[in-house]
Amino acid sequence: MRASTDPHGKGVTMDVTAIVNGVERTADVEPRVLLVHWLRDELGLTGTNVGCDTSSCGACTVLIDGRSAKACNLFAVQVDGSDITTIEGLAIDGELHPMQQAFHECHALQCGYCTPGMVMAAVSLIDEYPDLGDRGVRVGLEGNLCRCTGYQNIVHAVLQAAGEQERHP
Amino acid sequence: MTDVATHRRTGAPRVGESAPRPDGVAKVQGRFAFSSDLFAENLLWGQTIRSPHAHARIIDIDIREALSLPGVHAVLTADDVPGELHYGLEHQDQPVLAADVVRYFGEPVALVAADHPETARRAAAAVVVSYEPLTPLVDSALAAQADPIHPDGNVLRTLTIRHGDLDATAAVVVEGTYEVGMQDQAFMGPESGMALPSADGGVELFVSTQWLHADRRQVAGCLGLPEDMVRITLAGVGGAFGAREDLSLHVHLCLLSQHTGRPVKMVYRRPESFVGHVHRHPARMWYRHHADTDGTLVKVEARLLLDGGAYASSSLAVIANATCFAAGPYRVPHADIEGTVVRTNNPPCGAMRGFGAVQSCFAHEAQMDKLAAALALDPVELRRRNALATGDTLVTGQVITGAAPVAEVIDACASHPLPDLAAVDEQPMMHRPGGAGRTADAHHVRRATGFALGFKNLLFSEGFDDYSSAVCRLENGAVTITCACAEVGQGFVTLAQQIAREELGIDEIVLAPAETATVGSAGSTSASRQSWMSGGAVQAACRAVRGRVLQQVARRRGVALDGLVLRDGIIESLDGSVRVDLADAVDGPIEETAEYHHRPTQPLDENGQGDAHVSFAFAAHRAVVDVDPELGLVRVHDMTTAQDVGRVLNPLQAIGQIEGGTAQGVGLAVMEELIVEDGIIKNRSFTDYLIPTTLDMPTVRIAALIEEPEPDAPFGAKGIGEPPTISSTPAIVAALRAATGLELTRVPVRPQDIALPRS
Ligand code: FES
Ligand code: FES
């Protein structure tokens, strides 16, 4: 990471290099820029949503080095050197990730605003704890709010995807 | 001729099946564009300057410094509004930008457009507004007598229902006073949108909303433009629940775009969203029930007072609902009910899921339990004895002609087996009230159940000419449906495809974008009305296309029209002489537009009597709760529900609506309230305004979806979005009362209401 003064007069900027969805990205960003704004506004990855920007809702959840994190709760400069996956990077060769497939099949979304964050949080949760039951999934997703579904289908979807993962590790 | 077999039905789901959402794949991939994701070249960012006072006179607005900042392209005030200065859903009283007086905390006063969102925020901070603070009117009970805060007075509407003998009384009388706090819709996607200047001098607006054509009428009026120069397209909506029925940033965006000649985008942050839309009306309600000793209801008296806040929004319709349904889904021969909604300097209130029926259901269900206790009757049995049925008369004098399987709803819910819950001291700590480490002693925890029943009207009422429009176009064997129905998450897009498949037997149904220029109004996505109204419009448009196809085939093949059938995309004659694929049956495109109206309703007369509503839907909930009475902590373990749905069009979606609606009722019961002090909302964040999480939400079990087809409705299906939000709250509070013995007359029930009851 290197600090410099931005030629457009934005003030001090810093170099950030990170792998985002498998592609190395380097940028000059102001230290105050939140990761979620960098992803959305600079990289055009608008799948990651902002529901609160006070780390209360989880709509902005992404994976940083494989673990879920709320992208409104980090500055872009903090991910220098990290490997980031957003919802856009989850499908492989156009094939939905089993978690995405399960959310679609189980009707685990209505408006879908919470969905990208919810899916990313669930992927990380199941990766870490593959054998969770209903309660464990609920504990693990407590930081992700959904206003539409009442969560029941979300929990079904996560359990379905976890089962798939067990069968095809 | 094409091999007809290739166009045979491939199994795409029709009406009654769990079709997947057509937008589901895009939504799980993050490719679905929400209104916050919009972008255009040369984009400017808008920001709103809002009042920090609940009531104040504006002395001066100094925009000079803000305008001089580099990157700032416009700073606008009320003087810059070219057309109507006020807008409103029913009653045009809300200023686009406040001119001489602000009437609520957060009221828009000025607008900024700049080349970066941060520049826009700094410019907004540089606008100097001088106010002379006035004493805010914040007590709804004083509003009628207080000095008017608006030229047309403080009482927005009083509705009186006088039914039967007003002097009637009976052996058992119970009385109570109840309150409902201010709930927020708290959709996940804050208000956002983008306006672009169009070549003809008009404007194009992409926005998340519930009713595109009502928006267009209001926006065009304020811009001083004819309606056809304002084109509004639905952008991806992150939930609505009533909060997007009124305008928020719509006119503001268009003003900035018209002024700068550039695209302008605005995205509210969460604290701004909390002041940027209407809320659920807080209510104060007094009730007196009279019943015979066998539990037969004789009379209900009620006085309801709703706080409408500073502007009318849909208050006039909300108070009508609260009042019309104040007696609950019961046979009540005599009624004396009066509902009033007033203006105050509190935040404006309007539509939220349940729309007035939520407030009165909390009160009438508390009364029913009180009555059951006074009669030493089982609360469920008391409800059963008084339950409405088809042919019964409401307190408004309206006879229920449609389906009213109220007894079935009660029985299904009440007889569903109780959940198999571990004893409190055998449960993991996480399952106890308050979660791990908070409940003092498992042996203090009390478990109880509560039951509640609710209902409301479907579609718009009181003589409103409610309609929806749809276009069906058949071209080269492909069908495109155009309808301006706002998809806000409820799943109309899925149903529209299912209905078109059902009517035309074609699997591949394309839905055109919802917008104002290509089709007439679909009405509002509210009042549980779109499956019925826009579903009806889509059905009618498809049937019209089918009719023309069959006519052409009949004419060309010289067969009788009534001998032709269309099934699975193939037209056949009964005698077997004709068998042709729909795709090949006609030359050129066939397009039909349909406008669907429900049967007309009447206004209520001076005694609140009249055929004011089209249809009703009923739901019951049974709640199981654990309570730690010393700490006031609550765990809702189970919500079991049964609902009158007419017919299920899509089981997975129907259940999803019921689970989600129940969650919002859980929130109102035990956690959700906007704390308003002197007119100022104190908890404008998700850190302080709490909605249910995965752990707060109990298991929701559907005891039954009662399918008694509604005679008037397309496919017999009733709307299902709102009833779950109505009976869930009172069921939980009933359980809390049973567990604690406290009266608990106010929602949300807070820990202190249980641990430190006032009397
Ligand atoms: S936007 Fe990051 S947690 Fe809400
Ligand atoms: S699906 Fe709308 S917030 Fe979760």
A103, A85: one domain: no
- What is the C-alpha separation between A155 and A136, in angstroms, rounded? 10
Minimal-distance CA residue of chain A relative to B721:
A148
For A127, residues 6+ apart whose C-beta sits below 8 A from its C-beta are: A66
Of A50, A67, A89, which marks where a domain is finished?
Answer: A89
Q: For residue B463, is it left (φ>0), alpha (ψ between -120 and 50) or beta?
A: left
Residues 32 to 71 of A: which have CB under 8 A from any B CB? 40, 45-54, 56-57, 59
A90 CA to centre of own chain: 10
Q: What per-residue confidence (pLDDT) applies to B757? A: 87
Are residues A74 and A109 both part of a single domain?
no
Gyration radius of chain A over CA positions: 17
Nearest CA of chain A to the CA of B430: how many Å? 9
Query: Residue A28: which pLDDT band, with cuts at 50, 70 and 90?
Result: very high
Instruction: Calculate the CA dihedral of residues B710, B716, B719, B723 and round it to 10 degrees.
Output: 50
Q: B98 CB contacts (<8 Å, ≥6 apart)?
A: B51, B58, B78, B107, B108, B109
Confidence of residue B435 (pLDDT cuts 50, 70, 90): confident
Pairing of strands B56-62, B128-133: antiparallel
Q: What is the per-residue pLDDT across B540-550, written as a single tens digit (0 to 9) for each?
A: 999 999 999 99
CATH code of the domain covering residue A120? 1.10.150.120
Residue B164 reports pLDDT greater than 80: yes
For residue B170, the cross-strand partners are none
Mean pLDDT of B201-215: 98
Cβ A153 vs Cβ A104: under 8 Å: no
Indicate if A67 and A106 belong to the same structural domain. no
B282 in Cβ contact with B160 (< 8 Å): no
d(CA B149, CA B312): 12
Is there a single domain that holds both residue A85 and residue A115?
A: no
- Closest-CA residue to B74 (of B132, B124, B22): B124
**Using an 8 Å Cβ cutoff, are B633 and B627 in contact?**
yes
Hey, is B433 helix, strand or coil?
A: coil
- pLDDT of res. B491: 97
Residue B741's pLDDT band, with cuts at 50, 70 and 90, is very high
Question: Helix (H, G, I), strand (E, B), or coil: what is residue B228?
Answer: helix
* CATH number of the CATH domain containing A62: 3.10.20.30
Contact criterion met (CB below 8 Å) for B270 and B357: no
Q: Tens digits of per-residue pLDDT, B102-146?
A: 999 999 999 999 999 999 999 999 999 999 999 999 999 999 999
Contacts 24+ apart (CB under 8 A), B564-568: B566/B504, B566/B505, B567/B505, B568/B8, B568/B9, B568/B505
List C-alpha distances in Å: B168 to B175, B287, B298, B367. Answer: 15, 15, 7, 18
**Is the pLDDT at B95 greater than 50, yes or no?**
yes
Residue A22: which region, alpha, beta or left (left: phi > 0; alpha: psi -120 to 50)?
Answer: left
Give A3's pLDDT tier (boundaries 50, 70, 90). low
For B58-94, how does the pLDDT look when each residue is reduced to its tens digit (9 = 90+)? Answer: 999 999 999 999 999 999 999 999 999 999 998 999 9
> How far apart (Å, rounded) are the C-alpha atoms in residues B730 and B648?
25
Residue B427: count of CB within 10 angstroms of its CB: 17
A59 CB under 6 A from ligand 1? yes
Does one domain contain both A124 and A161?
yes
Nearest to B190 by CA among B306, B272, B288, B113: B272
Could you read off the pLDDT of B456-492 as tens digits, one per residue? 999 999 999 899 999 999 998 889 999 999 999 999 9
**pLDDT at residue B759 in the model:** 59
Question: Is A139 within 8 Å of B695 when comparing Cβ atoms?
Answer: yes
Question: A32 is in which domain, residue-wise?
Answer: 3-89
* Number of folded domains that form chain A: 2
Same domain, A56 and A17: yes
Do A103 and A75 lie in one domain? The reply is no
Residue in A38, A52, A86 to alter for ligand 1 test, most ligand atoms within 8 A of Cβ: A52
The answer to whether residues B184 and B668 touch, using CB atoms and an 8 Å cutoff, is: no
Nearest CA to ligand 2 atom 3: A146
Residue of A nearest to B692 (CA): A145
Please give the number of the atom of ligand 2 that sits closest to the Cα of A110: 1
Cis check for the bond before B748: say yes or no (omega within 30 of 0).
yes
First-to-last alpha carbon distance for chain B, in angstroms, is: 83
Question: Does one domain contain both A76 and A104?
Answer: no
Ligand 2 centroid to residue A21 C-alpha, Å: 24
Beta-carbon contacts of B6 under 8 Å, excluding residues fewer than 6 positions away, are none
Task: Give the three-class secondary structure for B697.
Answer: coil
Buried b (16+ CB within 10 A) or exposed e, A141-160: bbbbbbbbbbbbbbbbbbbb
Beta-carbon separation of B664 and A100 below 8 A? no
Domain boundary among A41, A60, A89: A89
Q: Which of residues 67-126 of A touch B (CB under 8 A)?
A: 86-88, 90-91, 96, 100-101, 103-105, 107, 109-116, 119
Gap between the Cα atoms of B419 and B249, Å rounded: 46
Distance CA B556, CA B220 (A): 48
Do A74 and A118 reside in the same domain of the chain?
no
The CB-based long-range contact list for A7-16 (8 Å cut-off, 24+ gap) reads A14/A77, A14/A80, A15/A80, A16/A76, A16/A77, A16/A79, A16/A80
Domains of chain B: 4-32+467-597 (3.30.365.10), 405-448+613-759 (3.30.365.10)
Q: B570: distance to nearest CA of chain A, Å?
A: 30
Measured in Å, residue B187 CA sits from the centre of ligand 2 at 8
Give yes or no for residue B10 having a pLDDT over 70. no
Q: How far apart are CA B554 and CA B638, in angstroms?
A: 58
Query: A154: which 2 tokens?
Result: 């979300």
The DSSP-derived string for B46-85 is EEEEE-SSSSEEEEEEE-HHHHHSTTEEEEE-GGG--S-S
**Tokens found for residue B589:** 């495109």
- Compute the distance between CA of residue B198 and CA of residue B203 in angstroms, rounded to an integer: 5
Q: Is the predicted pLDDT of residue B584 greater than 90, yes or no?
A: no
Percentage of chain B modeled with pLDDT above 90: 91
Question: What confidence category does residue A4 fall into, taking pLDDT thresholds of 50, 70 and 90?
Answer: low
* pLDDT at position B2 over 50: no
**8 Å CB contact of A110 and B693:** no
Confidence label for A8 from pLDDT (cuts 50, 70 and 90): very low
Classify strands B86-87 and B94-95 as parallel, antiparallel or unpaired. antiparallel
A146 lines ligand 2 (CB under 6 A): yes
Closest CA to B349 of B145, B532, B183, B173: B183
Q: Report strand pairing: B94-95 vs A67-70.
A: unpaired
Average pLDDT over residues B430-437: 81
Pocket lining: B656 vs ligand 2, CB cutoff 6 Å: no
pLDDT-based confidence at B9, cuts 50/70/90?
A: low
pTM of the model: 0.96
Q: Is the pLDDT of residue B276 over 50?
A: yes
Q: Do B28 and A103 touch (CB under 8 A)?
A: yes
Q: Which residues of B touch A119 (CB under 8 A)?
A: 28
What is the reported pLDDT for B525? 96
Confidence of residue B1 (pLDDT cuts 50, 70, 90): very low
User: What is the structure's pLDDT at B4?
Assistant: 37
* B691 contacts on A by Cβ (under 8 Å): 145, 147
Whether residue B691 lies within 8 A of chain A, CB to CB, comes out as yes
Which of residues 150 through 189 in chain B touch A, CB cutoff 8 A?
185-189
Q: Which of A89, A115, A145 is the last residue of a domain?
A: A89
Residues B364/B369/B372/B378 CA torsion (nearest 10 deg): 120
Question: Residue B425: pLDDT above 60?
Answer: yes
CA distances from B541 to B480, B545, B594 (A): 11, 6, 5
Distance B743 CA to ligand 2 centre (A): 35
- Tokens in use for B346? 């509190």
- Distance from C-alpha of A57 to C-alpha of A62, rounded to nearest angstrom: 13
pLDDT digits (tens, 9 = 90+) for B675-722: 999 999 999 999 999 999 999 999 999 999 999 999 999 999 999 999
Q: How far apart are CA B643 and CA B661, in angstroms?
A: 12
- B339-375: b or e for each residue (b if 16 or more CB lie within 10 Å)? bbbbbbbbbbbbbbbbbbbbbbbbbbbbbbbbbbebb
Co-location of A79 and A104 in the same domain: no
C-alpha B43/C-alpha A41 separation (Å) is 12
The Cβ-side half-sphere exposure at B256, using a 13 Å CA radius, reads: 30
User: So what's the pLDDT on residue A6?
Assistant: 43
Model pLDDT for residues B389-424, shown as the tens digit of each residue: 999 999 999 999 999 999 999 999 999 999 999 998
A68 Cβ contact partners less than 8 Å away, ≥ 6 residues apart: A61, A62, A120, A121, A123, A124, A125
pLDDT band, very low/low/confident/very high, at A135 (cuts 50, 70, 90) = very high
Do residues B282 and B668 make contact, with C-beta atoms less than 8 angstroms apart? no
Neighbours of B260 (CB within 10 A): 18
pLDDT in the model for residue B434: 84
How is the beta sheet containing B564-567 ordered, strand by strand? B564-567, B570-573, B579-581
Query: For tokens 């673990």, what's the residue?
Result: A67
Residue A158 Cα distances to A57, A126, B491, angstroms: 18, 8, 21
Query: Between A65 and B426, where is the model more confident?
Result: A65
What would the mean pLDDT of B233-251 be, rounded to a whole number?
98
Please name the residue ranges forming H helices in B205-349.
212-223, 250-260, 270-276, 315-324
Percent with pLDDT over 70 in chain B: 98
* Residue B649 confidence class, pLDDT cut points 50, 70, 90: very high
Tokens of B339: 């509902």
Size of interface A-B (CB pairs under 8 A): 176
What residues contact A163, with CB distance under 8 A and at least 6 apart? none
**Chain A residues inside the 8 Å CB shell of B25:** 96, 104
Instruction: Test B700 with A152 for CB contact under 8 angstroms.
Output: yes
DSSP assignment of B289-320: EEE-TT--EEEEEEEEEEE--SS-TTHHHHHH
| Same domain membership, residue A112 and residue A69 | no
- What pLDDT score does B738 carry? 98
Q: In terms of DSSP H, where are the helices of B641-681?
A: 651-670
Residues A16 and A52 both lie in one domain: yes
Chain B residues whose beta carbon lies within 8 Å of the beta carbon of residue A33: none
Residue with token string 């749809």: B470
Q: Using 50, 70 and 90 to split pLDDT, how confident is the model at B657? A: very high
Ligand nearest the Cα of residue A52 is 1
Q: How far is CA B700 from the centre of its chain?
A: 20
How much is the pLDDT for B7? 41
Looking at residues A47-73, what average pLDDT do you find? 96
